[in-house]
Structures are given as structure tokens and as C-alpha cells.
Amino acid sequence: MGIAIVAAGLIELLGLHRPRARDVATGLVLGAGLGLAALFLYLDATSSSTTGVTVTILFGSLFAVSQQMLPSIVALSAVSLLVLAVCYRMLLLSSLSPDLAAARGVPVRAIGIAYLVIMAVAVSLAAETIGAILATALVVGPPATALRLTKRPGGALVVAGLIGVVAVWLGIVLAYDSYYWPPAGHGWPVSFFVVALVFLFYLVAGAVARIVQARRRRHSEAAPRLAASGCAEHPGDAA
Amino acid sequence: MSGPTLDESADDAILDVDGVSVWLSGREVLHDVRFRIMPGEFTGLIGSNGAGKTTLFRVILGLQAASTGSVLVGGRPLTRRNPIIGYVPQKIFLDPDMPLRARDVVALGLDGHRLGVPLGWGRRRKAVDAMLDAVDARRLADARVGSLSGGEQQRVLIAHALISRPRLLLLDEPLANLDIGAEGEVVALLARIAREQRIAVFISAHDVNPLLPVMDRLVYMAAGNTASGTTAEVIRPEVLSALYGQHVDVLRVHGRILVVAGAEGPSGVTFEETDGAAVGPDIVALR
Ligand SMILES: Nc1ncnc2c1ncn2[C@@H]1O[C@H](COP(=O)(O)OP(=O)(O)OP(=O)(O)O)[C@@H](O)[C@H]1O
Ligand SMILES: [Mg+2]
């Protein structure tokens, strides 16, 4: 089951640097990733068919990930994480402004392609485990949650990764437990729990952010005048 | 401010633009642009929308190839990356949700082009704090950049451009979208930087007036043509009329300059010849 964590962690890490201009490309890559995953699952499922192929492709199955796939999944995840770490600052600068990055000598095109490639890998890994339909939720949900909780770029990456890992693990535990839930004898699908948890975390993070903000506002209300006058005395003094 | 007496020998120029022309989509956007900027000089690049200001900056940054002519930066031909140039682009779209604090943006100015994840927290932090102090934006350090006002973002981006210690700072319309107060503050800040750190500041604007108190020289663009020199040399009816290819009057009202189309009006001139976009000097400076 270690794969799921690596995969989830990796996937979450990726959603962060999505400049709006690249949304179209991102959509295409998502589609391509899902397509690839469907192909692999199809090939895999026809050789050792336990669940129906269609069901596996659409909803995936964490429990159906085979021994033979394990090494390649881990390797792909590791390579993707490495690429992300290596390109980290260039990605940030490019998403701030491609022109600015290009002027600093950043190969914006190549960085963009590297980003899309690891994104595609992440999506197809996610689709292997929780299925094509719900993979998008696992790719987009945790970063969106992290954005509500932190304003540091590195922090957002780590928080998103953790949320993804927790959601997947907790989902697995609940899926095991659900065996005893009605209708008895049929476990509920893991994918359902994972996505439900991702969504729940997102809502909770929104509430937390709002409470923190409200408290901060109450704190700063004491000295708003001071802050305002502090910034008004500008030109020529801080020399 | 009277222009400082600078040695004008070509070798010392921080930027030497010589006969640069740029053709885009079969149209000559820049025509034979030539001027020189000395270290520590404050130079304005004045032109209306579509005059070619951004294009000229992109040429200087090596992002756009010139069709003819040459550009020397610090005495050397252009390369892919010129560490001695700092750049503040015209418009940056910053998502308010983006997890990037002002201090992160400034830190990216230090090492955003490097591979790997940043190390050496203490040293970086100190440098970033000092830079934010220098642009009077320390109190913004921990705010998300996307949530800052236009003027505040401008300061943060200036800090981003300055932290790598450039000798030439290019700013593309940093005064657009600022109110008069913020405009004056940013101009004063830039003038101070140019003076104290001897950084040549090259700033584009569609209006000369905010820059008048601090500008040493200016480059005026109209209809693909340029004229350069001190304000007194360039902002004259004869010079501007030749530039626009049309009679132009220069009015001085309450210490402000208004450039106005002449008595004949636009009917006497064929605009199609010069530019598809309307670059006529109906009123270039009116605020
Ligand atoms: N890639 C391009 N292909 C074709 N034409 C272009 C291209 N980029 C710019 N132009 C044209 O070149 C002219 C100058 O553009 P530029 O962006 O340099 O103007 P500007 O002075 O910066 O204007 P503004 O004040 O609106 O920013 C415009 O007419 C524009 O349409
Ligand atoms: Mg422009």
C-alpha cells in the first residue's frame, strides 16, 4: 500500500503551480494521463481479471494494484518528486511571470514541459489507484485545501502532500471498516472514502481560515491608525 | 532637477541602443532607435499605447530579436541572461490565492533562476528584509502578494528586481493604475535608488509629467520613431512635430506639460501610413 502514499503525495504536490494561462494545457494533460492509465489498467485487467475492466478504469482500485506494477509506480513517483524539487524555484518564478523568468535566463518552455510531464505521470498514477473519475479530485482537492491554510509556497506543497496521504490512508481504513456496514458483507469502495475525505478537509480548512482571519482582524483593530501613519511617511527617510 | 554632468563616452554607457529596428507581423514597430544611458541616470521612455515601449524593453532583455541594429549592455553584446539588468514587467497577474508572500517574491529575485530548493535561510532572510526596507515595504513582507494593492505590488516587484544588484533597472509602466499620491511615492523611491546606488533607471510611461521632477533624460517614441535627449531638448514643438509627422504644440500649464495636436487637426495627416493603431497626439498628456 506504500504506493498509494507516494502516488498521493506526489499528485498533491503538483496541483500548486497552475498559472491560469496554462489551464488548457493542464486539462489536456489530465485527459492524456487518464487515457494512459485506462490503457494500462485495461492491459492489466484483461490478463488477470478480478473486477470488471470498465469498473476498474472508472473507479480504480487501490486493492487491485499488482505486485509487478509496484516498482515502476514507486520509481515514477520518485523521479517526479525529484524533477519537482530541481525545478522548484524556476517553476515559482515562471508562474509569477513568464517574461520575468525568461529575462532571468530561465528556460520557460522546457520548465513548462517538465511540469506538464510530471503532472501527467501523477494523474495516471492517481487514476491507477482511485480511478479516472475521482483522480481529478485527488489532484486538485488537497492543494486547494492547502491554499486556505498556508501562504508559503513550500508550506503549501508539504501541507497538500500530507492532506493527500491522510485522505488516502484514512480512506483505506474506513473502507476496511465499511465491510461491517449495511449492506453487510459488501465493503464500500475506497475511492468514495478518499474523495469524501478530500472534500471534507477542504470545507474544514475553509472554516478554519475564516476563524483565523476573524481573530486576526480583531487583534489588529487595536492599532490600525498606527499602521496607516507608519506607511505614510515615505519618500526619502529610510535611507 | 538639473541633469548631472556625465562623461558621455560610449565606453562608459550602461546601455547603448544603436539603430535598432524591429519588424513584427510585417510591420515596423521600432524604426532606427538609437540612444545611450549612463550609469546612475534616470531616463524616461515616453510614448502612447502601442508606441513600442514594451517591445524596446523586450529587445534590451534579449527576449525579442532586433531586425537590424545592435544593443550593448554594460559594453557587451546581448546574451540570454544579463545579470546586470533588473526588470519590472508591465502587468503581472497575481492570483490572490497564490501561496506566495511578498518576501517570497523578493527572494525569487535573488535566486529564482537557480535549480533545486533554496537553502541558507538566515542569509536569504536578512537580504530580503533589507531590500524590503529599502523600498519601504517591510510591513508587507508576510502578506500574500496577490492580496496587495497595485502600488504595494509595484514596490515588491521593484524589490524583486533590485535584490540581485543590477546596474540597469527597466520598469515597464510602473505608474499605470496608481493614484497621484502613490505615483509620486514610487517616482521618488526610484529617483532615490538611482542616486544612492548609482543604478541607471529606465522607466516607461505614457505621460511625461510624473517624471519631470526627477528625469535626467528621456526617449520619446511616436509612430515608430524616437527622439532622445534632455526634457528641454526633446519636448519642443519642432522635435515632436517631426516625430509625429504632424504639427504638434507643447503647452506648459501650472508646471505640467501638455502635448497637443496642432491647429490643422488630424485631417491633414494620413495616419494609415505610420501606424494602424491611432498614435495621433490628440492629447498625449492630459491628467
Ligand atoms: N508579437 C507581436 N506581433 C505583432 N505585433 C506586435 C507584437 N507585439 C507587439 N506588437 C505590436 O507592436 C506595437 C508596439 O507594441 P508594444 O507592446 O511595444 O507597445 P507599448 O508602447 O508597450 O504599448 P502600451 O502602452 O499599450 O503598453 C503594437 O502596435 C503592437 O500591436
Ligand atoms: Mg507596453
Closest by Cβ to A147, choosing from B97, B112, B142: B97
Neighbours of A66 (CB within 10 A): 10
pLDDT at B180 (0 to 100): 82
Q: What is the Cα–Cα distance from A18 to A23, expressed in whole angstroms?
A: 7
* Closest by CA position to A170, among listed A145, A148, A196, A149: A196
pLDDT at B270 (0 to 100): 37
Give me the sign of the Cα torsion angle B39, B44, B45, B49. Answer: positive
pLDDT at A110 (0 to 100): 84
pLDDT at A221 (0 to 100): 62
Give me the sign of the Cα torsion angle A84, A24, A163, A70. Answer: negative
Give me the sign of the Cα torsion angle B248, B34, B25, A103. Answer: negative
| Mean pLDDT (10-residue bins), chain A, 239 residues | 42 44 57 66 56 58 71 86 88 88 87 81 77 76 86 86 88 80 70 84 88 80 44 33
Q: What is the Cα–Cα distance from A190 to A169, expressed in whole angstroms?
A: 10
Q: How far is CA A223 from the centre of its chain?
A: 39
Tell the residue nearest (CA) to atom 25 of ligand 1: B49
Q: What is the Cα–Cα distance from A169 to A1, expressed in whole angstroms?
A: 9
> Probe ligand 1: pick from B31, B53, B275, max atoms within 8 Å of CB?
B53
How far is residue A233 from each of residues A224, B136, B144, B191, measured CA to CA in Å? Answer: 15, 10, 23, 17
Strand ordering across the sheet containing B168-171: B85-88, B168-171, B200-205, B42-46, B217-222, B225-229
Task: Mark yes or no for CB contact A103/B62 under 8 Å.
Answer: yes
Is residue A105 a contact partner of residue B113, using CB atoms and an 8 Å limit? Answer: yes
Neighbours of A210 (CB within 10 A): 11
Q: What is the Cα–Cα distance from B175 to B188, expressed in whole angstroms?
A: 12
pLDDT at B287 (0 to 100): 37
pLDDT at B12 (0 to 100): 84
Q: Which helix (H) or strand (E) holds A201?
A: helix A190-220
List residues of chain B with CB under 8 Å from any CB of chain A: 58, 61-63, 80-81, 85, 87, 89, 92-95, 97-101, 104-105, 108, 111-118, 133-134, 136, 139, 142, 144, 160, 184-185, 188-189, 192, 196
Q: What is the Cα–Cα distance from A177 to A190, expressed in whole angstroms?
A: 11
pTM of the shown model = 0.77
Residues having CB within 6 Å of any atom of ligand 1? B 24-25, 29, 47, 49-55, 90, 206, 277
pLDDT at B170 (0 to 100): 95
Q: Give residue for cell 528625469.
A: B215
Chain B residues within 8 A of A154 when measuring between CB atoms: 117
Neighbours of A183 (CB within 10 A): 6
Q: In whole angstroms, how large is the CA radius of gyration of chain B?
A: 19
ipTM of the prediction greater than 0.90, yes or no: no
Chain B residues within 8 A of A89 when measuring between CB atoms: 108, 111-118
- Dihedral, A137, A139, A144, A150 alpha carbons, nearest 10: 140
- Count of residues making up chain A: 239
Chain B residues within 8 A of A83 when measuring between CB atoms: none
pLDDT at B160 (0 to 100): 92
| Mean pLDDT (10-residue bins), chain B, 287 residues | 48 86 89 90 90 92 89 83 87 82 89 75 82 85 88 89 91 86 87 89 90 89 85 80 79 80 48 39 41
pLDDT at A19 (0 to 100): 45
